[in-house]
Chain A
Amino acid sequence: MNKWSRRGFIGAGLLTGGALVVGVAIRPGNPIEKLKGDVAPGADEQLINAWVKIGPDHRITAIVPHCEMGQGAHTALAQMLAEELDADWADVSVMQAPANGAYVVPDAARAFVAAWSVDAPNWLEPTYNGLFTQISKLGDVMITGGSSSVRSTGQHTMRIAGAAARQMLIAAAAETWQVPAADITTENGKLVHKASGKSARFGDFAEAASKQAMPQTPPLKDAAAYKLIGKSVARLDIPAKVNGTAQFGIDAQIPGQKLVYAAVKAPPVPGAKVASMNADAARSMIGITKILNMKDFVAVVADSYWHAQQALNAIDISYTSTDGDALDSAGLGARFKKALDKAGDTGGKALADEGDAPAAFKAAAKQLKADYQVPFVAHAAMEPLNCTAWVRDGQCDIWTSTQVPLMARSAVAKALDLDHDRVTVHQLYLGGGFGRRLETDYTVQAARIAKDIGQPVKMIWSREEDIRQDFYRPADISRFSAGLDAKGKPISWNNAFTQLNDPAGAWDVAHYDIPNRLIRHAEADMHLRFGSLRSVDHSQQGFFIESFIDELAHEAGQDPFAYRRDLLGASPRHKAVLEQVARMANWGEKLPPQTARGIALVKSFGTIVAEIAEVDMRDGKPRVTKVWCCADAGYVVNPDGFAAQMEGGIIYGLTTALYSGITLTQGGVTQSNFHDYQMLRMPDAPEIKTSFINADSKTLGGAGEPGLPPIAPAVTNAIFAATGKRIRALPILQHFA
């Protein structure tokens, strides 16, 4: 099962479409006319370009092509646009861009193409690039994922859009005032011509500006001139999230329409179908409208979700058998080990091969070997998956929370055999995404039910369905061997693991000075469907690598911080982050008995993060009391929002490390709800201190994911420091039951 086939499609589309010309803007004109009806329907609203509109009340609206799922992207992207526009922040609001091909995310395509090994030398050049827009359209690339909103759309679209709009406003004022454009300055939402004393607010020239040509490569500010970027402005979406008015997917209503509600149940073992069902008891239950056998799932439609779910629970369903029926977690682990055994010391697909790791291992003064293991993990966003759909007159509307509105549109169009333009996706806030809402399975389910019943329906998954029908963070085993020289320095690193997805290079240890490195993928099959979970491969690779490095440090008899630092001679930014987190925590200070600290360092999604966790073992099991975190994301756009994302990544990663393990029983998922799939709660939430380093304002890193990977190894390394017990399999608490 290869869920990343769409990457191949995008790459192939490009390659067969002609030469790759990077950095040349070929996007013709300004797509205002086509978009105006969608984003600026008011007669007096002027759309300056596709990403910003200005009202007669001088209100400036940033039109943001990413969903808001708590990561703060709406605010940060509006901030970046407003910075280049020289807007008054008090005038700025944000709207979610419609699911329209004009709002594909060009840099996402660039990143995909770059990852596909096509030479893209100018990929960091801040130029709005129409070629990539075309590619993005091919692949429905309107994605919120990969910690990409700020570093990609923000840097390469929103800032350009703001700067272009500013130039268009200046050009319009210059025409009216009959003065050179170069003599007009902008500040706090105003245009000023000093010599004549003329000034006006942006709204006064909005209409005239919309008729100006849109510059494709407007100059951008240097970081020294930033007024808004780098400031902790308050999140624009928060007020509605404290009074119950924020509208999430599950809150969707259709004006003038009465909804019915659907509950669904899919076969417990992936690939199975509904063989038969006995719904006699369910039919007579309160409020039931319809019971549907959709073959790949059963749906009950009723006058309320509660009634639908109660009736669904009363249906006796049997399923077809599959090859996976007999599989349990132990069987899957054995399958992974077999793949690694088969690969041996040099087999599998080599991902990195520097020097001669096997030979260096043989010659080493000390040799270490270890296997590390992680289980499947479910996303468990607080908002269970849901989608509202209405199919009528050869068209379909869906209302949902999704990270991929255009892919959802395509998937629904395909399932219902409709043209894309007959499907409209209405996006609402996401009650958490974490990668689960990169999938379109639930939107297709709702559309199929709506088509069948011919009336608008809100489908809601039970929490049990949400846990059992996930696209899981894959289980994985990683096998290491390493050799140390007489001084304890690593001279050989040999690593093989079974799961390789995204992003490229999550397995990399090139930042550490280890001369001989062999890293391999020993592929092993699994029947459970898998997907992207916050930080994706880094969530397991961070644990594997930073645990094993810690083992090397202890084997060498050295302090784990100093050992890492001494290997970072050629990676000064990594080193600076590691040293800063050590200073924050006062690493090395005397701690109370049965208390210890662990450290870990991972670069992911362009951001280097080091974390130190303090673990208290006095209750006989680990309690994580404090976490220090230092990050280098290039340049932080919204410091408080960035800190919130580090905190979020740490708590999400800590939950995963301590508790999360999806296990299999007879091919299906054992866990079902929060009583047996536990979450970290307030009493166990550590105190978190975050700092950051702005090392490069030109190349930004992400925020949503990079806080996660270091926390699991920081905790297990602390447990080792406290107890001498090395945790090589997650979740941690299974070892302290």
Chain B
Amino acid sequence: MIQTTINGTPRQIDTDPGTPLLWVLREQLGLTGTKFGCGVAQCGACTIHLDGQPVRSCSTPASEAEGKKITTIEGLAGADGTPHPLQKAWVEAQVPQCGYCQSGQLMSAAALLRDTPRPSDAQINAAMAGNICRCGTYERIRKAIKAASGQTSVEG
């Protein structure tokens, strides 16, 4: 049994310790907002926060969650349901197309803003380079991050 906290709720996970967190979240806990894209930490679709740090859940064994706090896209909004500023900016900038990669994009961006409240273009590029989007929403993501960090409006 692995003791962990997921989106603020203490949970016990019953799995073999080698199974990546991605599959525990999706198949055992029904938290399907976190996506499978590549299985080898190359695309970022599975990004979650482990004790606040962005990690690729497809390549993070469940055992690493012992005693730690996991946040997934389902827990990104405030406890009262208020959307994260990035979620608002994402809607305002009409970022998603197919939407499949966007949970991972949002989780990477949220980790960036926590550590770097007003990121430069170079900092955004560095933080987001691990997240692939095949629909081509990169520029809107960049705009939404800048808007959420109070640097521009979405139109800017």
Please name all residues of chain B whose beta carbon is closer than 8 Å to the beta carbon of A240 when the two chains form the complex: 99
Please name all residues of chain A whose beta carbon is closer than 8 Å to the beta carbon of B30 when the two chains form the complex: 253
Q: Is A157 an interface residue (CB 8 A)?
A: no
Please name all residues of chain A whose beta carbon is closer than 8 Å to the beta carbon of B31 when the two chains form the complex: 244
Q: Is the CB of A687 within 8 A of B94?
A: no
Given contacts A381-B134, A432-B134, A70 and B97 within 8 Å (CB-CB): yes
Minimum C-beta distance from B11 to chain A (A): 17
Please name all residues of chain A whose beta carbon is closer than 8 Å to the beta carbon of B136 when the two chains form the complex: 647-652, 685
Cα(A434)–Cα(B97), bound, Å: 12
Q: Is the CB of A382 within 8 A of B39?
A: no
Q: Is B52 an interface residue (CB 8 A)?
A: no
Cα(A628)–Cα(B9), bound, Å: 48
Q: Is the CB of B134 within 8 A of A652?
A: yes
Interface residues of B in 82-135 (CB under 8 A from A): 83, 87, 90-91, 94-103, 106, 124-126, 128-135
Cα(A479)–Cα(B22), bound, Å: 49
Interface residues of A in 279-315 (CB under 8 A from B): 286, 304-307, 309
Please name all residues of chain A whose beta carbon is closer than 8 Å to the beta carbon of B98 when the two chains form the complex: 69-70, 381-383, 429-433
Interface residues of A in 219-259 (CB under 8 A from B): 234-235, 237-248, 250-251, 253, 259
Given contacts A234-B91, A681-B132, A244 and B97 within 8 Å (CB-CB): no
Residues of B within 8 Å of A, CB-based: how many? 59
Please name all residues of chain B whose beta carbon is closer than 8 Å to the beta carbon of A652 when the two chains form the complex: 134-136
Q: Is the CB of A462 within 8 A of B138?
A: no
Contact of A644 among B45, B101, B140 (CB under 8 A): B140
Please name all residues of chain A whose beta carbon is closer than 8 Å to the beta carbon of B43 when the two chains form the complex: 382, 463, 674, 679
Please name all residues of chain B whose beta carbon is closer than 8 Å to the beta carbon of A641 when the two chains form the complex: 94
Q: Is A675 an interface residue (CB 8 A)?
A: yes
Q: Is the CB of A429 within 8 A of B131?
A: no
Minimum C-beta distance from A391 to chain B (A): 21
Mask for B34-54, Cβ within 8 A of A = 1, else 0? 111111101101000000000
Cα(A462)–Cα(B23), bound, Å: 13
Q: Is the CB of A307 within 8 A of B35?
A: no
Q: Is the CB of A382 within 8 A of B87?
A: no
Contact of A244 among B103, B125, B133 (CB under 8 A): B103
Minimum C-beta distance from B80 to chain A (A): 14
Contact of B38 among A237, A460, A674, A680 (CB under 8 A): A674
Please name all residues of chain B whose beta carbon is closer than 8 Å to the beta carbon of A259 when the two chains form the complex: 27
Q: Is A683 an interface residue (CB 8 A)?
A: yes
Cα(A294)–Cα(B59), bound, Å: 30
Cα(A383)–Cα(B35), bound, Å: 8
Minimum C-beta distance from A79 to chain B (A): 14
Q: Is the CB of B16 within 8 A of A241?
A: no
Please name all residues of chain A whose beta carbon is closer than 8 Å to the beta carbon of B124 when the two chains form the complex: 682
Please name all residues of chain B whose beta carbon is closer than 8 Å to the beta carbon of A88 when the two chains form the complex: none
Q: Is the CB of B97 within 8 A of A644?
A: yes
Question: Whose C-beta in chain B lies nearest to the C-beta of A306?
Answer: B23
Q: Is B153 an interface residue (CB 8 A)?
A: no
Minimum C-beta distance from A232 to chain B (A): 8
Q: Is A640 an interface residue (CB 8 A)?
A: yes
Q: Is the CB of A382 within 8 A of B132?
A: yes
Please name all residues of chain A whose beta carbon is closer than 8 Å to the beta carbon of B34 when the two chains form the complex: 244
Cα(A687)–Cα(B136), bound, Å: 11
Given contacts A384-B37, A673-B38, A682 and B140 within 8 Å (CB-CB): no
Question: Whose C-beta in chain B lies nearest to the C-beta of A646?
Answer: B136
Question: Whose C-beta in chain B lies nearest to the C-beta of A463?
Answer: B38
Minimum C-beta distance from B29 to chain A (A): 12
Minimum C-beta distance from A293 to chain B (A): 24
Question: Whose C-beta in chain A lies nearest to the C-beta of B144?
Answer: A242
Mask for B63-77, Cβ within 8 A of A = 1, else 0? 000000000111011
Contact of A382 among B19, B94, B134 (CB under 8 A): B134
Minimum C-beta distance from A408 to chain B (A): 18
Q: Is the CB of A243 within 8 A of B83?
A: yes
3 tightest Cβ-Cβ pairs between the two chains A and B: A244-B33, A651-B136, A431-B100
Q: Report which A residues bind B (CB closer than 8 A).
A: 69-72, 234-235, 237-248, 250-251, 253, 259, 261, 286, 304-307, 309, 380-384, 429-434, 460, 462-463, 640-641, 644, 647-652, 655, 673-675, 679-683, 685-688
Given contacts A306-B23, A432-B134, A673-B42, 15 further A-B contacts (CB under 8 A): A238-B99, A242-B102, A242-B106, A243-B33, A383-B35, A384-B37, A431-B101, A463-B37, A644-B97, A651-B138, A674-B42, A679-B43, A679-B134, A682-B125, A683-B129
Interface CB pairs A-B, < 8 A, 11? A70-B99, A238-B99, A239-B91, A242-B91, A243-B83, A304-B27, A304-B28, A381-B134, A382-B100, A651-B133, A674-B40
